[in-house]
């Protein structure tokens, strides 16, 4: 993975595979405690307790194409490489929450990357899926829910090209405003 946005995409793909109705993504920068927290919460099918115990083992996976899954192990490695940790909570039929805590200023922390581009692809691929994206730092906060967009758009679908363009530009701008100067890679 080259960006945290790609880890985010990977976590959301897990949530979609768990048939989640609502998927909440949040990215929180806490410069005072030098932490960057990436969290994805879903209301999907959850992870079986026996799999949950070993979910960061690359040879534990619920995929059926082959018995190897690298998504969570790679994210865990990125967390630990930057002095952080990863927590997973999951309950059958209630959903799963993955929280990745990274060292905000650690030299090995991946750049945040293109959150807007990730959102656009997710919305385009399944315009009926409910998402909420929260970006937060001492400089500001974005709380964007697809349900709100849908209310505003009425019968116009979320995956209309003009809407997706707006979404990409809006998230990019918010990302720069909220994380500019807070994350080293985003200039204020």
Partner 1 sequence: MKSLAELEAIRDKARENLSARASGGRKIVVGMATCGIAAGARPVMNALVEELRVRGIHDVHVTMTGCIGVCRLEPIIEVIEENGDKVTYVKMDPLKAKRVVAEHIVNGRICSDLTIGAAEPRVKA
Neighbouring C-alpha atoms within 13 Å toward the C-beta of 171: 27
| 8: nearest Cα among 117, 144, 158, 84 | 117
CA–CA dist 87, 71 (Å, integer):
14
Q: What is the footprint of partner 1 within residues 104-123 (CB under 8 A)?
A: 114, 117-118, 120-121
Among 18, 24, 29, 71, binds partner 1 (CB under 8 A): 71
Is 187 a binder of partner 1 (CB under 8 A)? no
User: Which segment (27-35, 86-94, 130-138, 153-161) binds partner 1 by CB under 8 A?
Assistant: 153-161
Report which DSSP code applies to 57. Answer: S
CA–CA dist 37, 103 (Å, integer):
9
- H-assigned helices in the chain: 4-17, 49-52, 71-81, 115-125, 146-153, 161-179
Is 78 a binder of partner 1 (CB under 8 A)? no
Is 156 a binder of partner 1 (CB under 8 A)? yes
Among 63, 92, 147, 188, binds partner 1 (CB under 8 A): 63
Q: What is the footprint of partner 1 within residues 159-178 (CB under 8 A)?
A: 160-166, 169-170, 173
Region of residue 113 (left: phi > 0; alpha: psi -120 to 50; beta: else): left
CB of 120 to partner 1, least distance (A): 7
| Residues 173/106, Cβ–Cβ less than 8 Å | no
User: Which segment (27-35, 46-54, 66-74, 79-87) binds partner 1 by CB under 8 A?
Assistant: 66-74
Residues making contact with partner 1 (CB under 8 A): 1-2, 5-6, 9-10, 13, 17, 63, 65-66, 69-71, 74, 114, 117-118, 120-121, 124-125, 148-149, 152-156, 160-166, 169-170, 173
């Amino acid at each position: 993975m080259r960006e945290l946005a790609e880890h985010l995409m990977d976590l959301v793909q897990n949530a979609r595979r768990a048939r989640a109705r609502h998927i909440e993504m949040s990215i929180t920068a806490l410069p005072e405690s030098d932490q960057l927290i990436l969290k994805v919460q879903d209301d999907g099918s959850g992870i079986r307790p026996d799999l949950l115990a070993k979910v960061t083992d690359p040879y534990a996976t619920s995929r059926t194409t082959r018995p190897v899954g690298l998504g969570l192990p790679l994210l865990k490695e990125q967390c630990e490489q930057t002095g952080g940790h990863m927590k997973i909570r999951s309950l059958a039929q209630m959903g799963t929450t993955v929280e990745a805590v990274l060292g905000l200023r650690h030299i090995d922390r991946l750049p945040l990357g293109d959150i807007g581009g990730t959102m656009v692809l997710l919305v385009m691929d399944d315009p009926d899926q409910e998402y909420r994206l929260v970006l937060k730092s001492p400089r500001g906060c974005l709380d964007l829910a697809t349900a709100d967009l849908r209310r505003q758009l009425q019968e116009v679908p979320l995956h209309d090209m003009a809407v997706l363009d707006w979404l990409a530009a809006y998230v990019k701008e918010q990302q720069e405003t909220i994380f500019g100067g807070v994350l080293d890679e985003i200039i204020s």
